[in-house]
Chain A
Amino acid sequence: ETGVTQSPTHLIKTRGQQVTLRCSSQSGHNTVSWYQQALGQGPQFIFQYYREEENGRGNFPPRFSGLQFPNYSSELNVNALELDDSALYLCASSLVARNTEAFFGQGTRLTVV
C-alpha cells in the first residue's frame, strides 16, 4: 500500500507564471484535499475533490483550480502567481469525504520570485 506522494518536492517560479502541482492519493482513497501552509502558519484549506468533483472550497481566489482524475490522483493549478503564493502545498487523501484521519503527503515547497 503506497502513501500519498506529491511532485515536485521543490519548485521556483517567477511572478505571473502558472504552476501545476501533482498528488497521488493513498491506495483506495477517493477524496483529495489541498492545503496551503505559509511560513509560521497552520495549513489552510484550498479545496477538496471527491469522485472527480469539487466538494468544498476555502477562501482562495479562482486562479487556484484543481482536477481529480479517475484514478483519484489530483492536480492543483495556480495561475498568475504572486509572491504571497510562496508556501508549502500539502495534499491529503481520505477514504471518504469526511477528513477524519486524512493522510498527508510530504508537500511541495513553492517559491515565487
Chain B
Amino acid sequence: DQQVKQNSPSLSVQEGRISILNCDYTNSMFDYFLWYKKYPAEGPTFLISISSIKDKNEDGRFTVFLNKSAKHLSLHIVPSQPGDSAVYFCAASAIGAGSYQLTFGKGTKLSVIP
C-alpha cells in the first residue's frame, strides 16, 4: 500500500519554463514533507521541505505547495535549467506521532530540454 504516490514517472520541460512535480499521500498522520533530488550514482540530495502548518515554502527557484485537505503537494521549479534534470522524490514523515522515518514516493524523472 503506497502511502506516498508520485503518479508521473517522467516529465519533460523546456529550459526556462516552469516544472511542476506532483505528489499525493494517504496517511493523515504525515505532518512534514520533503523533496529530494537524485542524480545517477549519487545519494538523494535534500531540496526543500514544508511543515503541515504551512501551505507554501519558497527557496530560490523552488517552491513547495501543500494542500492538506486534498492530501496533495507539488514542487514548482522556475525557471527550469538543464542541471535540474534528475529524479525527484517526495517524502513524508509523521513527526508529531513520534515517527521519524521518511516514506518516499517512487520518484519522477525530470528532463529539462535546452
B73 to chain A, nearest CB (A): 15
29 A-B pairs with CB atoms under 8 Å apart are A31-B100, A33-B101, A33-B102, A35-B102, A35-B104, A42-B89, A42-B107, A43-B44, A43-B89, A45-B101, A45-B102, A45-B103, A56-B101, A90-B43, A92-B43, A92-B102, A98-B32, A98-B95, A99-B93, A99-B100, A100-B49, A100-B93, A101-B34, A101-B46, A102-B46, A103-B46, A104-B45, A105-B43, A106-B41
Residues of A contacting B49 with CB < 8 Å?
A: 100-101
The residues of B with any CB-CB pair to A shorter than 8 Å are: 4, 6, 32, 34, 36, 41-46, 49, 89, 91, 93, 95, 99-107
Chain A interface main SS type: loop
Q: A41 and B106: CB pair below 8 A?
A: yes
> Within the complex, which residue of B4, B93, B106 is in contact with A40, where a contact is CB–CB below 8 Å?
B106
Residues of A contacting B99 with CB < 8 Å?
A: 56
The residues of A with any CB-CB pair to B shorter than 8 Å are: 4, 31, 33, 35, 40-45, 48, 55-56, 58, 90, 92, 97-107
Q: A43 and B104: CB pair below 8 A?
A: yes
Q: How far is the CA of A56 from the CA of B99 in the complex (A)?
A: 7
Q: B101 and A48: CB pair below 8 A?
A: yes
Residues of B contacting A90 with CB < 8 Å?
A: 43-44
Chain B residue at smallest Cβ distance from A109: B41
Q: How far is the CA of A78 from the CA of B93 in the complex (A)?
A: 25
Q: A102 and B43: CB pair below 8 A?
A: no
Residues of B contacting A31 with CB < 8 Å?
A: 100
Given A41-B106, A42-B4, A100-B49: A58 touches B44 (CB 8 Å cut-off):
no
A5 to chain B, nearest CB (A): 10
Which 7 pairs, one residue from A and one from B, show the smallest C-beta to C-beta distance? A42-B104, A104-B43, A45-B101, A104-B44, A99-B100, A106-B43, A43-B104
